């Protein structure tokens, strides 16, 4: 009897990986195989840098930032050096954003973002409302899921956000916006650290205005748009922006506070842009708001 499955090669490769690799404390096997094909992975086609090998290893390289609700880690996902053949998809850097079980205070604050968004499982809703351990874990998982789904939708619609690679429980992995010259990773600077000239400030105003309007087309406001949640992509020759931190995207139609969030987003970035060289015309929060509102109504 012949089988189309090549067991010899399969066993040889798995053995090779386990022989070659011994996991350190800051390592784990790639969690890619744990993800369900359509729900937990980013939009297809997968970019060719995404590492899909089952024998790949995740190594935590360090903390990018710790926050109240989530911590961001820099992760390398790679085949052991000995198994690489110099093709794409064998090694990459990613940002792993891990949501914590939120504190009660942070959680109360989160209520107005979530209005109009419902949890299908009422057992989960009740546990979240009571703040039980199960509820806190479920809430962390929900924030991660909300951000992952939002990134998928925005990325697919062509908005300037990092590519979302995968989600496993409360951890989502996304494209690392930064450089890795000589294996020395440097994360993209945030907008608030930058001192642009007028031309660049106006370019950024146009990019952010487009982002706000495109997002309104989809029926959302960012909800926390600020120079702290905008990265300047060092891989782009023209210093293009990438927008991050979208777990609180606000549904402009269902959420009664939607327009207030939209207005605040516009004011936040326009204030910074004007203070840093953009013309009043290019960064006019009222003009942005008026145009955005017309998009979803
Ligand atoms: N895809 C990415 N590429 C490079 N750096 C990133 C990426 N995502 C996040 N970071 C870095 O990690 C920081 C925290 O990310 P993010 O804003 O998503 O998390 P947060 O915990 O909600 O932060 P905060 O509470 O400060 O808004 C960012 O300010 C940025 O410096
Ligand atoms: Mg942030």
Residue 7 DSSP SS3 = helix
Q: What is the DSSP letter of 278?
A: -
Residues 260 and 266: their CA atoms lie apart, in Å, by 10
Per-residue pLDDT, 109: 45
Q: Rg of the Cα trace of the chain?
A: 21
pLDDT at 107 over 50: no
Write down the pTM of the prediction.
0.86
Q: What is the DSSP letter of 90?
A: S
Which residue, among 281, 245, 290, has the nearest Cα to 67 in the 3D structure?
A: 245
Q: Which domains does the chain have, with CATH numbers?
A: 28-177 (3.30.200.20), 188-296 (1.10.510.10)
* Res. 111 pLDDT band, cuts 50 70 90: low
Q: Residue 185 contacts by C-beta under 8 Å, 6 or more apart in sequence?
A: 61, 74, 93, 176, 178, 179
pLDDT at 177 over 70: yes
To test ligand 1's pocket by mutation, which of 72, 95, 99 has the most ligand atoms within 8 angstroms of CB?
72
Q: Which residues line ligand 1 (CB under 6 A)?
A: 64-65, 67-70, 72, 95, 97, 162, 174-178, 187-188, 190, 228-229, 231, 244-245
Q: Which atom of ligand 1 lies closest to the CA of 71? A: 21
Alpha carbon nearest to ligand 1 atom 26, residue:
67
Beta bridge partners of 66: 71
| Count helices and strands in the chain by DSSP H and E runs | 7, 12
The whole-chain average pLDDT of the chain stands at 88
To test ligand 1's pocket by mutation, which of 73, 245, 246, 265 has the most ligand atoms within 8 angstroms of CB?
245
Q: Residue 50 contacts by C-beta under 8 Å, 6 or more apart in sequence?
A: 42, 89, 92, 165
Give residue 65 CA to ligand 1 midpoint distance, Å.
7
pLDDT digits (tens, 9 = 90+) for 199-230: 999 999 999 999 999 999 999 999 999 999 99
- Residues 144 and 167 sit within 8 Å (Cβ to Cβ): yes
Greater confidence (122 vs 144) lies with: 144
Q: Residue 51 contacts by C-beta under 8 Å, 6 or more apart in sequence?
A: 30, 32, 77, 78, 79, 89, 90, 91, 92
- Residues 209 and 285 sit within 8 Å (Cβ to Cβ): no
């Amino acid at each position: 009897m012949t089988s189309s499955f090549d067991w010899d090669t399969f066993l040889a490769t798995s053995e090779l990986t386990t022989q070659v690799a011994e996991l350190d404390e800051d390592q784990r096997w790639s969690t890619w195989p744990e993800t369900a094909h359509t729900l937990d992975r980013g939009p297809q086609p997968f970019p060719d840098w995404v590492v899909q090998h089952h024998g790949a290893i995740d190594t935590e390289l360090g903390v990018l930032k710790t926050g109240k609700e989530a911590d961001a880690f820099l992760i390398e996902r790679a085949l052991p050096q000995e198994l690489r053949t110099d093709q794409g998809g064998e090694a990459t850097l990613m940002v792993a954003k891990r949501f914590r079980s939120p504190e009660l205070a942070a959680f109360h604050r989160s209520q107005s973002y979530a209005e109009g968004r419902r949890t299908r499982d009422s057992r989960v809703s009740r546990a979240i409302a009571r703040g039980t351990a199960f509820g806190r874990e479920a809430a962390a998982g929900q924030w991660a899921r909300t951000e992952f789904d939002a990134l998928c939708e925005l990325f697919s619609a062509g908005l300037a956000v990092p590519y979302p690679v995968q989600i496993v429980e409360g951890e989502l992995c996304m494209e690392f916006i930064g450089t890795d010259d000589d294996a020395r990773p440097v994360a993209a600077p945030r907008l608030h650290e930058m001192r642009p000239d007028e031309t660049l400030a106006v370019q950024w105003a146009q990019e952010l205005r487009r982002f706000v309007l495109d997002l309104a087309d989809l029926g959302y406001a960012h909800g926390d748009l600020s120079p702290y949640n905008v990265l300047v992509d060092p891989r782009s020759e023209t210093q293009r922006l990438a927008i991050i931190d979208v777990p609180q995207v606000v549904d402009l139609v269902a959420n009664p506070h939607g327009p207030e969030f939209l207005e605040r987003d516009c004011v936040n970035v326009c204030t910074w842009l004007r203070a840093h060289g953009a013309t009043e015309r290019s960064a006019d929060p009222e003009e942005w708001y008026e145009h955005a509102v017309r998009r979803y109504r």
